[in-house]
Structure 1
């Protein structure tokens, strides 16, 4: 594992367990010498995971659209930052730079990124592992909906299996490692 994209919220959420998971993920990524690739923001879980990687001696690459950078939401102390024009360019650049994806809890932006990369994986436009960190059961209802999609014939079982699910940071990182060892 050289680098991992992390999708997550630009807000901290209301339960400190999510921030704790972001801190832990950053610590472990730095400890394993895995570069963080993320959306470049300095706030919320995004800023927390980036700060944690940096604080623990790791490297962080941010990819942010100019319009968000102009709103002063860009993190100011990253190892590297790429400025792009659109959200689509951002998502494409992030996965080009990575060997896997991890999604922490988040809102619409996180869901958008997660489902787009799953669609890319299904269409064979992306070949890396996609891990959902279901911290505190945050994604339980979404996972039930995906299972309903399989049950009702809208999602093929093999495509449902493209989303790897972990309850802890250690499990999530292990799933990515196991994916690449099996290839």
Structure 2
């Protein structure tokens, strides 16, 4: 008997992004190394639908709808310089030794590339109806939709976030994949 196609969705335990390195039409998309989105708090998917109505003879004759945008919003508790490179561009430079070590992310007009990337999020084991199972959501090709929320907050933690728009892959036309696993699996 196949696994149930209906489930609750409880919590998010992990999320990772990977730079999209190739997406040839008729080929296979390839991605760079996975980068942890540290302290993932939420992954929310929304979209826009354009509706066209055909009227005539003083009545509704037909309606057609099409998806015009898929968007994801992500909030995470910790700032990652590697995530910033993957979603916005820029470069990270490590320098110094001992107690004088630094890691600096620099964004310049030349390296603000807004590269495409994949995002995958997963519930904890038991975050679905199937005992010991989990649910994975993959957005295959994203591009940042607005500058990420960064900065400081007086006497409080600053939560980082970003919003990105999805496009279908050229290689297989996929926008979103949702996989319900009978046995929990790590993001791979």
TM-score normalised according to structure 2 size: 0.22
Q: Which has the larger radius of gyration?
A: 2
- Report which of the two has the higher share of strand: 2
- Report which of the two has the higher share of helix: 1
Q: Which has the higher contact order (CA 8 A, sep 6+)?
A: 2
